[in-house]
Each structure stands twice: as C-alpha cells, then as structure tokens.
Amino acid sequence: MTVSLVLAAHGSNAQPQVNARIHELAKKLESSGCFTRVRAAFHQGDPHFSEVLDQLPAGRTVVVPLMTSAGYYCDKVLPRELRRNESFDASKVEITAPVGAHPLMRTILGNRIRELLRENKLNPDDLAVLLVGHGTPRHEASRTTTIKLADELQRDFEMSMVTPAFIDDEPTVQDAFASIGTRDCIVLPFFIGSGMHAVEDVPAMFGHSDVQRRLVIDRPVGMDDGILEIVADLVRPSPETPAIHARNVRTIRLGTRASKMALWQANHVAELLRPSCRVEIVEISTLGDRDRTSPIDALPANGPFTDDIEIALVEGRIDVAVHSLKDLPLTESPQTRVAALLPRGDARECIVTRERLKLSELPAGATVGTSCARRALQVLRLRPDLRIVPLRGPVDDRVQQVHDGKMDAAILAWVGLQRLDLLDAVDEVFAIDEFLPAPGQAALAIQVRADDREVATMVASLDDAATRAETALELNLQRALESTGNLTVAAYAKCGDACYELRARILQKDTGQAHDVVVSANSPDVALAEALDELQHLRPSVEQEAVH
C-alpha cells in the first residue's frame, strides 16, 4: 500500500535555516525507503499545510507534527489547514501526536544534559536546568508537555534543579532564571528549528550572566537527529505512543436538534473534531421543535431549543452538545459549560419575500413572519404600516412558507440561509446598524459537562477568543436589561486593536419605543458600563436593578 509521510512544522518565512532543517529530516527519512514519499510542510513556508496533500500520491498519509507540544498550531491550525487540501480524505490521513510529547524526548534531553555536563565540566550538585518553551495563554495545552518533561528530568537528575520556563507564558525565562540563585545553568531551548526564538530571543533574555555562575545555552532540541527515531516510532503506533487518529478510540457522542440547520452545525463541529477522535451524531427532540405553534416566549422552558439536549449531556447520554449560542439560556447550569465558541459567522439579518421585494417596497399591510419580539419591533420601527404574523419552524420550512404564500415576507438570519445554501432566496440584507441582530447571533457553542476535563481539553482548541469576547459583551448587556420582562435587546459587538465597540438597540415590547447606544472602550467591562450608564440616562423608567 502507498504510504506517504508529512513532517508538519510551524516554519519561518524570514529565516530559511528553520525550514531547511525540516527538509533535511524529510530527505533522511525518504532515503530509508520506508515511505513512498516524504514531504516537509509548513504554516509559514512552502509547501503550506493546505497544499501538501495535493502534491502526494493517492493512498494512506501519516502527518507527524514536528512541534514540541500540543496546542494552537498542532491541535487547531494543522487539522484545519489539512482539510483545505482538495484531496483530503479523513479516512486516509492520520495525524500523530507531536514529537515533543513522545517518551523518547525525555531520553534525548537527558542524554544532552549529560553531554553538556561533561563538555563544560559542570557540577551536577550545583546545577540548574531551564527547559524553555514557547507557551501561550491562548491555549493551555501549549505548556503541558514542557512542564511534564521538566518534572520527569528532575526525577532523572535528582541532584539538579530542572525548571520549565516560557517566552510567552508563566513562569517567564527571566523569573525562572532569577529563581535558581547562584547555581550554574544549562538552558535547553525546547524548539524544533533554529529560528529567532531559539537563537536570538532566548539568549537575549539572559543578558550578561554574572561571573559567579556559568551559563550554557544549548542548541534547540530539534537539531538532534534522535528526533528521526521519534518520527519513525510515531508512524508505527504503539500503546505507549499512539497517533492522534488511533489514540482517541473513544467515540464522542455529539448531541443536536434534528433540523437541517442543526444537523449542518453538528456535522460542521464533527468535522473539526474528527482529526482527533471518532464522532457519533445523536439527534435529540427539543420542546421548541415539538411545539411549533406556541410563541417562543410562552413555552414553559428556559431554553426551549436547548434544555432537552442539556439534560442528555448531564445524564451522560451524550458527551458534547452543539447549540446556536443565542438559543442558550442567559444563566448557565453549574453542571455544564461552554468549552468553545467557533469563529462567528455573518450576524446580519435579511428578508425573504414572496414577490422578490425589499422591505421598503412591500405594500402597506403586507404580512411579515417572525415570532421574535426583537425582529418584530425593528420591522415596525422601519415600516409601521406592515403586519406581523407568527412564524415558527426550521429555517428551510420558514422560507417555504413564504414561497407558498402563507405570508408576504419573513425576517431570517443571513448565516442560516448561507449554511443551508439558500442565499438565492434572500431579497435584502440589512446593515448591522439598520437592523441589529440578537446577542450571540451567528456563533456556535460547544457545550460539555463541567467535570469532563478530557472532552473539554479536546474541544478547547476550537475556541475563538474574539468571538468569545464579543458575544460575552452582547450577552452581558442582555442579562442586565432583559430582567424587566418588558425589554428586548438587539446588540452587536466588535473587538480589535484593544478596542471594544458595542452597538445596542433596546426596545420596549409594549410601546415599541427604541433607544440606541454606541460605545467604544479599551475593555469589555468599561464598554458595558458605559452602555448601561447611557441607557439609564436615556431611559429613566428602567428600574435600577435592571441596569445595575
């Protein structure tokens, strides 16, 4: 059978020696004759992760992340970019664990410490070893391998002090170095390539070592040819060093509603998870799906489209739940948590009409379908001469109801029509400030049991920090204002360059009166406080407890 090997590294566009090392390793492995083809691939460099599979012959492909740990690039970027290859086939592409997490890495580093002790005539009884990794606050797994290795090396060298340190995380290199006192120090750069971090940033962080102790900064660990043995072992999965594809033999049961939209969302999440596990989709009937005639606000549930799925999650009938974020209750159950929010889609609203008209072109008295107070009030704000009629059901069914003449038009989320390939039905897309969406609109939430750390860690790599920050701001505003029962909130937040902008429209259900607010601040807390203060000033009738 044809077997190709891909060595996947972060790489560097600015420092060619980094990628040259990976190409060198690929040539050595190809010369072994064990593979049909061996190629290096990079996030920064040529070929890119998203192109390499298309350059290989058909057949089984093993992708080995030449990275020191799990984390953002290994768990999120690499699988995502590999799926962009036209020839990607999940059943034939295996992604192994990163080389840095292999048990042989402990041996490589231990042998290197012994060599440096001999070469530099260092006293192991008065020695500190700093294992320096990159680290990043955006992905907790990026620190795990470095910390674990440091603990294992500490046990191997009982008379030495082995400490993890990080360039972009805690403990910092400077703090770790200060903690060793007057001991001599060996610095092991836990990096694959001889790039800027390994050969420039790390030495610069030590400055000038004082004369009372010796400082030895080693080459990056990826320069050791022992890494070839790790690659070879990863390609031959064993119980001790299984590949990601084989390691997660556990099947993740993913709970979802049964509508076409919900199944699209579930399959989208399943595809993101499948490089690291098997996924079984479990369809669950919710109250909101069973009762399609009552107004949503009248349904006897906090989350009519989510409660039944959450119960299945808590009871252990599923392991993961996928929801539209805006469907989740504002108060999260202590037994569950949202472990990831996927990058948000386009949150704009749109209109679908029977006669292919824009909102402004509908005749007076035309019927517009929606069962959402926020949408109804904004339609009447723009066209008070129109008539709102109730509209429930799945997205595709709502479009069909309009085309069947049961109403003249309907207001829908644009992203829903995009996901179901129904954009041909859209007659007008509203600008955000013209027709504000629901807080959290167009964001997908992945929910897990609060005590299931294994699944939470697996899912966490899919979390998008910008989406989480923006939707949290919108939902916090909604929590503060909708407690009165007479208000409905439309909101949209955007963050960038340390600036948080929040647009909100507060609508009174009984009068239709609307109040708009737009604030910008350097933190979400300040933006929220300013919005609430401005709305309190504009709306003296709002009860104090509603905004504070």
Mean pLDDT by 10 residues, the chain (548 residues): 86 87 91 87 93 90 89 84 88 88 89 90 88 76 81 75 86 86 89 74 69 82 89 67 42 91 92 81 86 67 85 94 93 92 94 97 97 95 96 93 96 94 95 96 96 88 91 94 82 89 93 93 93 72 37
Q: Which residues contact 315 (CB under 8 A, 6 or more apart)?
A: none
Q: Is residue 32 helix, strand or coil?
A: coil
Alpha carbons 228 and 249: distance in angstroms, whole number:
26
Residues 291, 267: contact at Cβ < 8 Å?
no
pLDDT recorded at residue 82 = 92
- Name beta bridge partners: 520: 501
CA distances 256 to 132, 312, 319, 346, 416, Å, are 42, 10, 11, 22, 16
Through-space distance between the first and last CA atoms of the chain, rounded to whole angstroms: 67
Q: Please, is 379 exposed, middle or buried when counting C-beta atoms within 10 Å of its C-beta (0-12, 13-18, 19+)?
A: buried
**Best CA proximity match to 391, nearest among 415, 360, 361, 412:** 412
Q: What is the crossing angle of helices 260-273 and 395-403, to 10°? A: 150
Cα 428 from chain centroid (whole Å): 31
| Residue 523 C-alpha from the chain's centroid | 21
The pLDDT of residue 51 is: 93
Helix (H) or strand (E) holding 503: strand 499-508
Strand-strand pairing, 184-189 and 161-166: unpaired
Structural tokens at position 67 = 């990275």
pLDDT at 362: 97
- Rounded to whole angstroms, how far apart are CA atoms 143 and 136? 7
The amino acid that residue 516 corresponds to is D
C-beta of residue 319 within 8 angstroms of C-beta of residue 448: yes
Domains defined for the chain, CATH in brackets = 3-101+230-243 (3.40.50.1400), 349-429 (3.40.190.10), 464-542 (3.30.160.40)
> How far is 151 from 502, CA to CA, in rounded Å?
45
DSSP code, position 48: B
228 φ, ψ (degrees, to nearest 5): -65, -35
Q: Is 83 helix (H, G, I), strand (E, B) or coil?
A: coil
Closest to 504 in 3D by CA, of 484, 483, 475: 475
- CB of 504 within 8 A of CB of 477? yes
Return d(Cα 87, Cα 64) in angstroms, integer. 18
pLDDT of residue 535: 86
Q: Are 515 and 506 in contact, with CB atoms under 8 Å apart?
A: yes
> Exactly one of 184, 327, 408, 452 is catalytic; which is it?
327
Q: What pLDDT does residue 139 have? A: 64
What type of residue sits at position 9? A
Residues 6+ apart with CB under 8 A from 525: none
Active site residue 327: yes
Alpha-carbon separation of residue 446 from 210, 254, 458, 508 (angstroms): 51, 9, 11, 32
Structure tokens at 139: 């992905």
Give the CA distances from residue 511 to residues 94, 373, 460, 486, in Å, rounded to whole numbers and listed in that order.
Answer: 59, 12, 43, 9
Matching residue, tokens 């993101």? 272
Please report the pLDDT score of residue 170 as a whole number. 83
One DSSP character per residue, 274-334 reads TTTSEEEEEE---HHHH--SS-GGGSSSSSTTTHHHHHHHHTTS-SEEEEEGGGS-SSPPT
Q: Which residues contact 215 (CB under 8 A, 6 or more apart)?
A: 184, 185, 187, 206, 209
* pLDDT value, residue 212: 66
Q: 269 CB contacts (<8 Å, ≥6 apart)?
A: 254, 320, 322, 342, 444, 446, 462
Choose among 63, 70, 64, 66: nearest CA to 92.
63
Specify the pLDDT at position 137: 67
